[in-house]
Amino acid sequence: MSGPLSDLVRLDDYRWLIPKTRQPGMRTEGLIYASAAMLPGIVQDRAHEQVANVACLPGIVGRSLAMPDIHWGYGFAIGGVAATEVDQGVVSPGGVGYDINCGVRILRTNLSAADVRPRLAKLIDAIFAAVPAGVGGQGGLVLKEPELQAVLRDGAAWAVGRGLGRPADLVACEDGGKIGSADPRAVTDKAAKRGLGQLGTLGSGNHFLEIDVVDEIYDQQAAEVFGLRHGQVVLGIHVGSRGLGHQVCADSLETMQKAVVRYGISLPDRQLACAPVKSPEGSRYLGAMAAAANYAWANRQVITDSVRHVLAEVFAQSKDALGLELVYDVAHNIAKIERHSVEGHERTLCVHRKGATRAFPAGHPDVPAPYRAVGQPVLVPGDMGRYSYVLVGTAEAMRQTFGSTCHGAGRLMSRTAAKQNTRGDDVQRDLAAQGIIVRGRSRSGLAEEAPSAYKDVQQVVDVVHGAGISRRVARLRPLGVIKG
């Protein structure tokens, strides 16, 4: 191998090593999960440089990791995973990102594609009208300050407690839809104000509401446990903590830039600004981040309630008759304090997952009881025109990646490049020719999210399946998509 790719050492068909000698300051190796065909794009994007930079973080344990949906991000590459020592290591907001707990959930239904097709346009229009979306979108639940504090503390449970969901929904959420260590007091007034009117809103960018059909089953046992069957219609909801989470990140980065100086931390990139996990700055960030994560879980829960009401109206059936049960809700951008075995020893680590998800195996106590026999559901959305996947976590992920895997397709083009290469009207027309109905708040937003702007999620999933860090269960094909 020559040229820029010579920095990478091929371990097998799915893993590429960045040696510790690549640049000064690396405390460990980097490891990228990718196929050979993906590597030139990753190097052109310079995302591999960010993997090497993360390897310089104080207290990093194991390798600096990147999933096959990797692309350039703030500090960490999107698709990056890194674990640090709680006692001696740091926490970095760049390892979580601005959209804290951007995550995805899937609801199963008792409907088939044949049931939905005749009413698909009506259904898409009704959901589009019921769920506020778009840049800065307001119009969700308008909260008063005490209510917001409860949302930040209790997450999805806040919504369920107010009749906006079912207790079973909480069982099917990562962490039960709530991080107990959340500290609403660590959220600034500026961030809190941004959250008062955005609960139950979709936002913009790659966030979506999607109606899919299960078109392939790979693991019948796991699919049955997850309640999935061939030809079944499911609904996906992808959104995070909105303006509140963005402001928490911005506020924390300002604090962390000062903390780097205070604690004498040397970094190759100022965007990796960080503080010791147990420092006042680190503790405050983790408390505020957890509060924003809880807001995101509550946000997805409120949207779920709206969607259930719409389906009941459109199909003139009760929500129970339609099914509409939550399969799972998984977080993408988050840092978690977790126990992991490292070289045969149990250690308490701060695991950063940015554009990556948990992939915990069968038997793990953090896997919801209904799924513990097979493993945690992993939800991997693709672009609007191809597929999404349901995977399952594996024991191999615990050995290789701190129980982590990919979170989506990953961008091939920046949003600016996508808008230069296509028009929103063309995206809508081309998808309609495939039988996919798309609604968006703006033509430019649809252009940014054109299928051509993304990697082929099937190739991404092939890598994580081949590497053994998650396993294919089912493939979903889009019927209708709503974008902000």
In this structure, are residues 46 and 76 in contact, taking their beta carbons and an 8 Å threshold? no
Task: Say if residue 370 is exposed, middle or buried (CB neighbours under 10 Å; 0-12, 13-18, 19+).
Answer: middle
Burial 428-459 (b: 16+ CB within 10 A, else e): bebbeeeebbbbbbeeebbbbbbbebbbbbeb
CA distance 414 to 419: 9
Smallest Cα–Cα separation from 219: which of 71, 86, 72, 378? 378
Tell me, yes or no, if 407 is annotated catalytic: yes
Burial 182-198 (b: 16+ CB within 10 A, else e): bbbebbbeebbebbbbb
Residue 244 gets the label, from left (phi > 0), alpha (psi -120 to 50) or beta, of alpha
The H or E element spanning position 90 is: strand 90-91
Structure tokens, 36: 């050979």
User: Residues 370, 374, 376, 378: what is their CA dihedral angle, to the nearest 10 degrees?
Assistant: -120
In this structure, are residues 96 and 334 in contact, taking their beta carbons and an 8 Å threshold? yes
CA distance 423 to 450: 9
Marked catalytic residue, from 48, 207, 407, 465: 407
CA distance 398 to 340: 8
CA distance 392 to 167: 23
DSSP 138: -
Task: Say if residue 60 is exposed, middle or buried (CB neighbours under 10 Å; 0-12, 13-18, 19+).
Answer: buried
Q: How many Å from the N-terminal Cα to the C-terminal Cα in the chain?
A: 43
Facing residues of 16 across strands?
Answer: 10, 32
How many helices (H) and strands (E) are present in the chain, helices listed first? 17, 19
Q: Phi, psi at residue 90, to the nearest 5°?
A: -120, 165
- Residues contacting 272, CB < 8 A, separation 6+: 53, 54, 56, 57, 75, 76, 92, 94
Count of CB atoms within 10 A of residue 46's CB? 12
CA distance 295 to 320: 26
Q: Are strands 470-483 and 232-239 parallel, antiparallel or unpaired?
A: unpaired
**Placement of tokens 């604090």 in the chain:** 255
Active site residues: 407
